[in-house]
A and B are shown apart, each in its own frame.
Chain A
Amino acid sequence: MKLTGAEIIIKAFEHEGVDTIFGYPGGQIIPFYDKLYDSSIRHILVRHEQCAAHAADAYARATGKPGVCVSTSGPGATNLVTGIANAYMDSIPIVAITGQVPTAKIGSDAFQEADITGITLPVVKHSYLVRDVNKLAEIVRSAFHIATTGRPGPVLIDLPNDVSQATAEFAYPPPVTLRGYRVPQEANLNLVRQAARAIGEARKPVIYAGGGVISSGASETLRELAERARIPVTNTLLGKGAFPETHSLSLGMLGMHGTKYANYAVSYCDLLIAVGARFDDRITGKLDAFAPHARVIHIDIDPAEIGKNVRVHYPLVGDVQLVLKQLLQHLEAPQDQEWLSQVEQWKRENPLVYTLEDGIIKPQYIIEQIWDLTGGQGIVTTEVGQHQMWAAQYYKALSPRSFISSGGLGTMGFGLPAAIGAQAGYPDKVVFDIAGDGSLQMNSQELATAVQYNLPVKVAVINNGYLGMVRQWQELMWNHRYSQTDINVGTPDFVKLAEAYGAVGLRATRPEEVRPVLEQAIAIPKPVVIDFAVAREENVFPFVPPGAPLTKMMGG
C-alpha cells in the first residue's frame, strides 16, 4: 500500500504506541496536519513551539514513554530549540518533527527556512534530514530506537514539504540495528566483583543517585541495595523520586542547595557510589574538594561520563538496573552502625529550617502544604529559580516520575508546559506547577492550552516580585546591587490573568490562607493559578557559593 510521507509518520507513531503529541502547525507542515486530521492520535495545540518540546519532555518524564513534538519550518523549528536542548541536558527521550521547505529549495534562504539540523547539532542525540520518502519509515523507527535506548535523548526529524507529500510503499521495518550505535547492557563482571568488594570493605559509604536511576526503572533495585547494605542515599535534582525521600536512609538532595547532612555525608564518605548521575558542578561544588576521602564507583550507561569530572576507581558501564542487579548478586555483609549513627546525628543537628513570620507567607511553607495535601502522590513540575530549589528541598519525592524539573539547562518557563505534558499523560493525578512570578511569565500563554484541553493543572506562583535567585546572588555575592531583578512593577495580576484565559485565579496573602486556598484549588476540576504573595527577600539556604567546597555552606 502506498502512503504519503505524512501518513507514514502517523502510521509509524501508531506502531510506536504514540497516542499523544504536542505541536503547532505552519505552512510547511500542513501536509502532516492534514493527515493528522483523520487520525485518532491526540494532538495538543500549544501556544508557542518551545512549549511543545517542554510538554513532550515532561510527558516522557511522567509516563516513561517517548514524548513527541511537532512544529513547522523556520521560526517554528527554532522555537523548539530551547526545549530540545532542555531534553538533551536531562537525557529525556523526545522525538521532534519539524517541517522544512521543499528539498529543491533547501539552502536558498526560502521563506521560513532554517537549517534546523545544523542549529540543533550540539543538542540532539541524533537528527535526520529526510530527502527520500522511501527511507522515512526506517528513519522514524530509528529515531524512536535512538531516543529511548541507552542514554535517552532528543532526536529530530526534519521533514521537507515535498517528502511529506511524496508516496512510498509502507511496511514498518523490523527492529533496526545501527552499526555505529551500541547500547551497553551489563557491566564487566570483574569490575562488578571489585566494586561489590569495595562496598563490603567501606566503612563510610554513600549512594549518590541521579536521573539515570529513574530512566532505567531501577528505583526498587536501588532501594534493595541501600537497605541490604545499609547505605545512606542522597539524590540529585533529577534523581528526586529515585529513592523515597522520607526513607530513614534518605539524605535528600545534595549540592549547591542540598541538605547539610547530604553534603557532609558526601564530603566525609570513604566510598561514593554514583548511580546514573554525572557529577554536575551544581552537585560537586569545588571539584578538588569533592568527596576527597572517597573511592568512587560510577554506574552509568554512558562511557563518556566515566572520569569526565571526577576520577573513578570502579567504572561500571551499563544499564543502571542491570548493573545494580549484578552488584546485588555479589554484595557482601552490611555496614556497621557507626557511620549511620554519624549520619543520623548530622540529620538531627542540621535539619532544613526556615522561620515563620506573623502575617507573611514563607515560600517553604507553601511547598510543605502542597506536599501535605497531596500526600506526595501527585506530580510536581517546577520552573527555574528559588521556588525550584525550595520545591526540591521541601517536597519529598516518594516515587519516580513524580517530580519534574529542568535540571541541566535550568530553563525558566519549563514548569507550566511541563505540567501540561504530565497532566496529558495522567489526567487523574493532581499536577502542580510550582512557579515563580518571573519564570511563569516566560510561558504564561500556555494557560490557553490548559484551558482548551481542560488539563486541570494547578499553578502555584511563589510571587516575590523579583527574579529571586539572581537577586539572592546579587545580595550575597554582588553587594546588594539588584541590577535588573526587581520585576514588581509590571508583573500582572495573576488572578486576572488566569481569568482572562478562562482559568480560575485564586490568591493568598496571609499564611493562614495558604492551606484553604490550596484545598480549594485541588477541588476545582479546571486549571487554577494561585497567586501567593510571599516574603520578598527570602533566601534559599543552605547555599554553597559557586566554586566553593560542599562543606562551606551558607545559612540554613
Chain B
Amino acid sequence: MKHTLSVLVENQPGVLTRVCGLFARRGYNIESLAVGETHDPSISCITIVAGGEDLVIEQVVKQLDKLIDVIEIRDISETEYVDRELMLLKVRAEASRRGEIMQIVDIFRARIVDIGQDTLIIECTGDDGKTQAIEKSLKPFGIVELVRTGKIAMVRGLKYGDGRE
C-alpha cells in the first residue's frame, strides 16, 4: 500500500540525507519526495510517498521519529488530507491539433504556459487522479517531456502542525 508521510524537520543541511538514508537501508524506494520551508523558516516539511507493507512503513516511521532533526512525523494516509502535485508536460502539437489539446487543457483546468514551433508546455496542478488523467488524455498527441514536483499534502482542519510557533 502507498503511504503518505508528512515530516517536519529542522531546516538544516544534511537532514534530507538522514531521512532518505533510512529508506535506502530498508530497500524501499521513495516514489515521491517534496521538500520546502514552512511558514517557520527554521522548519522544513518533507512529504514522502512510499510503498511498502504497513508494518515496515510503521517501523520506518518510528526510526525516522528517532532522528534528532525530525521534529514531528505522521503517516497521514488514513486521515483526511488535501494533496497536490504540479506537473509540466511538453506535448507534440502541430497547429492543426492545438484546438483539441486546448479543449483538454480547459476541461482539466490546466494551463498552457509555453508555445513552441511544434510543442506546447502545459502546467497542471492537482491530486494523483487528476494528473494521471490529463497525462492519459494527452498521451495520444505524443508527450515529449514530463516533470513533476512530487506530492505535497496537508491534513484537513486544525490537526497536525497547526498553531506551531
Contact = CB atoms under 8 A, between A and B. Distances in A.
Interface of A: 117-118, 121-122, 125-126, 129, 146, 178-181, 302-304, 307-308
A91 B46 CA distance: 28
A303 B69 CA distance: 17
Given A122-B21, A122-B25, A304 B59 contact: yes
A118 B71 contact: no
Contact of B10 (A117, A118, A180, A308): A180
B59 A308 contact: yes
Contacts of A178: 68
A179 B17 CA distance: 19
Nearest to A302: B66
A304 B68 contact: no
B14 A117 contact: yes
Contact of B69 (A122, A180, A304, A307): A180
Contacts of A121: 17-18, 21
Contacts of A308: 59
Interface secondary structure of B, over-half rule: helix
A180 B14 contact: no
Contact of A181 (B14, B21, B58, B68): B68
Contact of A303 (B9, B62, B67, B68): B62
Interface residues of B, number: 20
Contacts of A307: 55, 58
B122 to A, nearest CB: 39
Given A304-B65, A307-B58, 4 more contacts: A121-B17, A180-B70, A180-B72, A181-B68
B18 A304 contact: no
B53 to A, nearest CB: 13
Contacts of B58: 307
B31 to A, nearest CB: 22
Nearest to A131: B13
B149 interface: no
Nearest to B17: A121
B68 A180 contact: yes
B38 interface: no
B62 A304 contact: yes
B42 to A, nearest CB: 9
Interface string B38-74: 0000000000000000010011001101111111100
A180 B71 contact: yes
A304 B25 contact: no
Nearest to A146: B68
A180 B55 CA distance: 23
B70 to A, nearest CB: 5
B15 to A, nearest CB: 10
A129 B69 CA distance: 14
14 contacts: A121-B21, A125-B68, A126-B67, A126-B68, A129-B14, A180-B9, A180-B10, A180-B69, A181-B68, A302-B66, A303-B62, A304-B65, A307-B55, A307-B58
A123 to B, nearest CB: 11
B14 A304 contact: no
Nearest to B18: A121
A304 B66 CA distance: 8
For the complex of A and B, the 4 pairs showing the least CB-CB separation, nearest first, are A304-B62, A180-B71, A126-B68, A181-B68
B65 A303 contact: yes
Nearest to A150: B66
Contacts of B59: 304, 308
Contacts of B18: 121
A129 B9 CA distance: 17
A179 B10 CA distance: 9
Contacts of A181: 68
A125 B69 CA distance: 11
Contacts of B72: 180
Contacts of A129: 14
Nearest to A129: B14
Nearest to A155: B68
A129 B18 CA distance: 14
A517 B47 CA distance: 65
Nearest to B61: A304
Nearest to B164: A179
B63 A304 contact: yes
B17 A118 contact: yes
A142 to B, nearest CB: 8
A308 B55 CA distance: 9
A180 B21 contact: no
Contacts of A180: 9-10, 67-72
Contacts of B14: 117, 129
Contacts of A303: 62, 65
Contacts of B70: 180
Contacts of B63: 304
Interface string B144-157: 00000000000000
A318 to B, nearest CB: 15
A464 B68 CA distance: 46
Contacts of A118: 17
A169 B154 CA distance: 43
B39 to A, nearest CB: 16
A241 B68 CA distance: 31
Interface in B66-87: 66-72
